[in-house]
Structure 1
């Protein structure tokens, strides 16, 4: 079922990531980690649907998305980044396999943070802290880190920030490779969450499988 939403507010989070807040249709329900197919409500764009994750709390009065613009892609996210209050979008019913399955290690790359952000926010709201959760968040440069201050303030969350192209204070320089995983003090018998660019997901899932992380303990989209 399709729903037409009106943009209430848009604010920049980084140089290429926007937070968009919309009105919420009556009775529209989702669970943390889920996404929807999203299109601009304008001529020539309504069939250009893209998946985006909800980053608002499930019981919030509004719907919120955190969207990274890719000007070099097909133009949809670039258009989204230029939206103004009052502009319309069309969303479908929620879907997705990513959900909160309890404490564990979250591995996210870039905009792959968004389903995990929803899970972390909801867990903090319901439990008061994030004890037992660890977030390994990989980006290219420091300016690419989405909502760093919010993540650093989350009570109980163990946060590891990795940068592949910069070496700055408070971050680890490198990638999520075999050496990193083996030296990070991880418990490979626990639950792992994974979301990021497809090549990264493929590499990391292979590395985790080699370390005994079975499919039933790996939360990701399939």
Structure 2
């Protein structure tokens, strides 16, 4: 067991850990909204104008989905994650009932940064007890975001998520320890999200990714 898994201070509460159902789940190649590896994705052309000045999330042009990730949240809730050929963008769809079931939310994320972590000390400094991640609020580019996960008055533990990914070349798993923040944009049902995720891949490489996202309606995108 590597140092990442031994870092108990980053273990999430048992209630937040995904169930064992992911391994045996029917990971259909077709996800919610018809999303799948190799499919094209187009965004409403009016989104850029609507969101201008309200979010720093960039709405890209047409994209092609390279890989699909599935996170079993337990209690029949799922996250489907679509990673584009253009690696700056990814889409997350939360569904209930089934992987391709009732859509609860859609968020488009832009990657802000991706840093490889080489030691426990580096992890503690950037995303652990010595960092600001996990505190009730987090300030990014002068804007304050409120923590979505955890009720502690101080720093809370990162949430454990296990993601099963597949693309045309391979299928593999990534373990996450994540924290989500959000703020209101002033637009109806459109919130901006700041997601931090410490990730360990199958080779044991540990990294910290930071993503900025915006709520979308299902009508904001078209799968082709």
TM-score by length of 1: 0.25
Pick the structure with more strand per residue: 2
Structure of greater relative contact order (alpha carbons < 8 Å, 6+ residues apart): 2
